């Protein structure tokens, strides 16, 4: 007989303890805290990565101290702002916290709180817990850029909207519209929500219009209504940003022919690439975005009979191509991928495909941190290694975009086949 105190028994007890530990409700939140502390410390040790936070604080301080607010003040230097007006909300909240925590830490705490909301929503349903671990992995691999920009609020608004879209589509519409008034792109996800929701006029369009009406009234009270949409044209004249997908083509070609130069644009505080084929690429990029967006919208409509899947794949496709077809292409734009993939990992259909997309996105997140801030100075000098890193990162994003569009096409195809079979059998 085997002794109950033998090595096998001891090993079984150790495995049982490990399983018990893995199911402890506090463990995911401990991991959440650890990841966000690590990322925040990384940012605090690299102050340059947090430069935008200082800019946010300056904008708010300019309004409070000098009475010169972005958009709201007609005579100030920020009358035509690059952001929608509700971007001021998290900036003002962070500014209030900064009196106690300091400028950088205040924003990081606020961003962590927002991230906690999305993480908690993903943990709420047992089918989406794998998505919560993807959320943490993506934030960790992205580094401080994941928390140090407005884009974390884009990810959170889309994530929570996806989580509540079935039970409360009106709330999903409100969240996406509020997100759009912070940084535009969440508004793109309203189309898949409309297509996948019954009684969409009452449950999606009306709540979205109500948010827009409320914003319009509040802005009108300040006399700034004529400038409320100024963000739509504020960046129309800018060049091709060094980290964008389009810039990769210019940089790779510049390694062999058609020399290009990356220079600092002081007016908008960013690095842009010129020379070579850059002037041609910057003209094509907006048309690429328009064509891709219209194509995805038509694919979403074609696949409307699969509301659950079309919502998630539609969101991923639109947000991914918003990165690909963007001449700005800042590193933080990668955070737009976070929500649809985290939620998509809970989908029953094409689970392996979602895992593939998640793996590609995690690789892209890690490469993004290597590009910025680790090897950013090398990229600005068009060093071959840094150019290759960025090119691979952008290629991964392009692959994700193609997979998302292909999935929508297949969803629509299966719907049409089922409809044909139903007609033949009836």
Residue 377 neighbours by CB under 8 Å, 6+ apart: none
Residue 22, pLDDT > 70, answer: no
Residue 210, pLDDT > 90, answer: yes
Residue 119, pLDDT > 80, answer: yes
User: What is the side-by-side strand order in the sheet with 270-275?
Assistant: 240-241, 270-275, 260-265
Identify whether the C-beta of residue 306 lies closer than 8 Å to the C-beta of residue 411: yes
User: Looking at residue 7, what is its pLDDT?
Assistant: 64
Mean pLDDT, residues 18-25: 62
User: Looking at residue 6, what is its pLDDT?
Assistant: 62
User: Looking at residue 267, what is its pLDDT?
Assistant: 77
For 55-89, letters b (16+ CB in 10 Å) and e give ebbebbebbeeeebbbbbbeebebbebebbbbbbe
SS3 category, 271: strand
User: Looking at residue 425, what is its pLDDT?
Assistant: 46
Q: pLDDT tens across 374-386, in order?
A: 999 999 999 999 9
User: Looking at residue 41, what is its pLDDT?
Assistant: 98
Q: pLDDT tens across 398-412, in order?
A: 999 999 999 999 999
| Dihedral pair phi/psi, residue 157, rounded to 5° | -65, -40
User: Which ranges constitute the DSSP H helices of 306-350?
Assistant: 307-324, 338-344
30-44, 75-89, 136-150, 152-166, range with the lowest pLDDT: 75-89
DSSP codes, 205-263: IHHHHHHHHHHHHHHHHTT-GGGTTGGGTTTTT--EETTSHHHHHHHHHHTTSS-EEEE
Residue 387, pLDDT > 50, answer: yes
Mean pLDDT, residues 297-317: 96
Model confidence at 25, pLDDT cuts 50, 70, 90, reads confident
Model confidence at 418, pLDDT cuts 50, 70, 90, reads low
Residue written as token pair 């997140």: 365
40-49, 85-94, 147-156, 230-239, range with the lowest pLDDT: 230-239
User: Looking at residue 75, what is its pLDDT?
Assistant: 79
Mean pLDDT, residues 364-375: 97
Residue 198, pLDDT > 60, answer: yes
Dihedral over alpha carbons 232, 238, 243, 247 (to 10 degrees) = 120
Residue 268, pLDDT > 90, answer: no
Model confidence at 61, pLDDT cuts 50, 70, 90, reads very high
User: Looking at residue 14, what is its pLDDT?
Assistant: 58
Residue 350, pLDDT > 90, answer: no
User: Looking at residue 257, what is its pLDDT?
Assistant: 86
Domain ranges of the chain: 26-234, 235-420
Comparing C-alpha atoms, which of 212, 211, 174, 178 is closest to residue 193? 174
pLDDT, averaged across the chain: 91
DSSP codes, 349-412: TTHHHHHHHHHHHHHHHHHHHIIIIITHHHHHTT-HHHHHHHHHHHHHHHHHHHHHHHHHHHHH
Q: pLDDT tens across 233-249, in order?
A: 877 778 999 999 999 99
Model confidence at 302, pLDDT cuts 50, 70, 90, reads very high
Mean pLDDT, residues 284-306: 97
Cα(372)–Cα(242) distance, integer angstroms? 11
Measure Cα distances from 24 to 21, 27, 30, 113, 128 in Å: 5, 6, 10, 22, 17
User: Looking at residue 424, what is its pLDDT?
Assistant: 42
User: Looking at residue 426, what is its pLDDT?
Assistant: 47
Please give the residue that has the higher pLDDT: either 425 or 179. 179
Residue 421, pLDDT > 90, answer: no
Mean pLDDT, residues 173-202: 98
Residue 187, pLDDT > 90, answer: yes
Mean pLDDT, residues 42-48: 92
Model confidence at 49, pLDDT cuts 50, 70, 90, reads very high
Mean pLDDT, residues 318-337: 96
Cα(424)–Cα(402) distance, integer angstroms? 33
User: Which ranges constitute the DSSP H helices of 84-204?
Assistant: 88-101, 103-124, 129-142, 151-164, 169-183, 190-195, 200
Residue 423, pLDDT > 60, answer: no
Mean pLDDT, residues 87-115: 98
Please give the residue that has the higher pLDDT: either 2 or 349. 349
């Amino acid at each position: 007989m085997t002794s109950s105190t033998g090595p096998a028994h001891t090993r079984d007890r150790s495995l049982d303890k490990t399983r018990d530990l893995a199911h402890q409700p506090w463990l995911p939140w401990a991991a959440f805290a650890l990841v966000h502390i690590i990322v925040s410390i990384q940012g605090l040790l690299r102050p340059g990565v947090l430069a935008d936070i200082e800019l946010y604080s300056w904008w708010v301080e300019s309004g409070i101290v000098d009475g010169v607010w972005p958009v709201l003040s007609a005579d100030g230097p920020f009358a035509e702002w690059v952001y929608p007006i509700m971007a001021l909300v998290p900036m003002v909240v962070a500014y209030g916290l900064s009196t106690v925590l300091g400028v950088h830490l205040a924003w990081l705490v606020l961003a962590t709180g927002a991230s906690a909301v999305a993480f908690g929503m993903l943990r709420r349903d047992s089918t989406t817990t794998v998505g919560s671990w993807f959320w943490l992995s993506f934030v960790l691999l992205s580094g401080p850029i994941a928390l140090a920009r407005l884009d974390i609020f884009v990810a959170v608004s889309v994530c929570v909207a996806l989580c509540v879209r079935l039970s409360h589509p009106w709330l999903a519409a409100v969240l996406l519209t509020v997100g759009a008034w912070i940084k535009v792109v969440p508004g793109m996800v309203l189309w898949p929500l409309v297509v996948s929701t019954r009684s969409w006029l009452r449950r999606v369009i009306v709540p979205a219009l109500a948010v827009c009406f409320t914003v319009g009234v509040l802005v009108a009270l300040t006399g700034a209504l004529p400038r409320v949409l100024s963000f739509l044209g504020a960046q129309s004249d800018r060049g091709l940003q060094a980290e964008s997908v389009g810039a990769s083509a210019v940089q790779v070609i510049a390694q062999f022919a058609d020399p290009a130069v990356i220079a600092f644009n002081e007016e908008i505080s960013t690095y842009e690439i010129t020379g070579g084929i850059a002037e041609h690429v910057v003209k094509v990029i907006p048309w690429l975005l328009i064509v891709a967006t219209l194509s995805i919208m038509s694919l979403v409509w074609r696949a409307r009979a699969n509301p659950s899947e079309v919502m998630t794949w539609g969101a991923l496709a639109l947000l991914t191509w918003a990165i690909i077809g963007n001449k700005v292409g800042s590193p933080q734009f990668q955070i737009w991928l976070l929500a649809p993939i985290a939620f998509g990992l809970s989908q029953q259909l094409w689970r392996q495909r979602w895992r593939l997309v998640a793996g590609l996105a995690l690789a892209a997140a890690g490469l993004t941190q290597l590009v910025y801030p680790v090897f950013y100075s090398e990229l600005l000098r068009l060093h071959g290694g840094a150019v290759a890193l960025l090119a691979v990162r952008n290629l991964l994003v392009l692959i994700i975009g193609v997979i998302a569009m292909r999935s929508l096409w297949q969803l629509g195809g299966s719907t049409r086949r089922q409809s044909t079979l139903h007609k033949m059998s009836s």
